Amino acid sequence: MAKINSLIMLQYIDVLLKHGNYTKAAQNLYISQSYLTQTIKKIENELGIEIINRQTTPLQLTEAGKVYYQYLASLVDKQEQFRKRINKYTDPNYTVIQIGVLPSLGTYLLPLFLPEFMQKYPNIKIELHEFIPKNSEEKTENNTLDFFIGQNPETISQNLVSHICGKHCYYALIPESSKLYQKDRLMVECNHSFMKNLLKEKLILTSHGSAIRQQIEYLIQKYKIKPNIILESSNIFTLVELAKKGLGVTFIPESVNICKKPNDEDYNLLPLPLELISLSYFIAYSANKTLSFAEKELINLFISSFG
């Protein structure tokens, strides 16, 4: 049997885990079931471990299989990075700009400037990497990424150069289940006592380390509150939907578009005063990076998109 490369092996395992059995996986891959079974078994024999737990339905990875899967994924990532880097030497017209951005932030920010840039520079390929901010920061610092787009640049590495755009506000989403909910109103006003009571409600917040969480923790410390945090998520859209179902109060940047659905409970939106809490958007790059003319234009378009 010919040696299987890491990308194909990763695809085999992905499809097998998706369908949970060899028959459907083989059909989806357009190979025979016996070939797929033999390929997996051959790798297991070579490694001296079981990759697939055959005692479960649907099929799952063993603990050792998870390690092997991560190894394959890292190989594929390195191969892709190598291909991208070598292309600029084999093809003088090949230009790629790699941007790291949080998905929820990209949804709001990228449409403001990226279409115009791509129209001006149709031969430049843009690659988006939707990492968590910490990963984007590290990859930009070591020049794996060209740019890192984020919010609240105060804590980013000093090895990055950042361009900051204005101050923008946060909203608190207060569900009908909260005792602070005000009937027949969408927007409500904030004052000191209301804010203090709001932070005592059941809270559903973004994960530790996120820009939003850092801001909310500042408020919690400022008002000397012992918070009742019942749930955390790295996905702001998940928190919004759960808050709209009455699970708890959450805090969201104005960049997040909130749409009321038929089955949603009623809720209030509380704009938080800019002097109390605010966010700034930024685009950053490595301090040792030499910017091309097009990259400078990308930065200018980002900045000008905020007026």
End of a domain among 85, 106, 132?
A: 85
Give the three-state DSSP class for 281: strand
- The answer to whether residues 135 and 101 belong to one domain is yes
Cα separations (Å) of 275 from 169, 210, 219, 266, 272?
10, 20, 12, 28, 9
Which of helix, strand or coil describes residue 263? coil
Say how many C-beta atoms besides its own lie within 10 A of residue 80's C-beta.
Answer: 12
Percent of the chain with pLDDT over 90: 52
Q: Which 3 state secondary structure label does DSSP give 268?
A: strand
Please name the residue that has the structure tokens 């209030």.
268
pLDDT in tens, 211-236: 788 889 989 999 999 999 999 998 88
In which domain, by residue range, is 143 found? 94-167+280-304
Q: Where are the alpha helices (DSSP H) in 30-132?
A: 33-47, 63-90, 103-120
Which residues are CB-neighbours of 57 under 8 A, at least 6 positions away? 20, 21
Distance CA 302, CA 166 (A): 12
Residue 1 confidence class, pLDDT cut points 50, 70, 90:
very low
Looking at the structure, do residues 175 and 163 belong to the same domain, yes or no? no
- Mean pLDDT of all residues in 88-109: 80
What is the arithmetic mean of pLDDT over 181-206?
A: 92
Q: How many domains does the chain have?
A: 3
Name the DSSP letter for residue 190.
Answer: -
139 and 176 part of one domain: no
CATH number where 46 lies: 1.10.10.10
CATH number at residue 289: 3.40.190.10
pLDDT at position 169 is 87
pTM over 0.75: no
Q: Give the angle subtended at the CA of 25 by the CAs of 80 and 128, to the nearest 5°.
A: 30
As a whole number of angstroms, the distance between CA 1 and CA 287 comes to 49
**Taking 70 as the threshold, does the pLDDT of residue 3 lie above it?**
no
Q: Hey, what are 191's tokens?
A: 């004052």
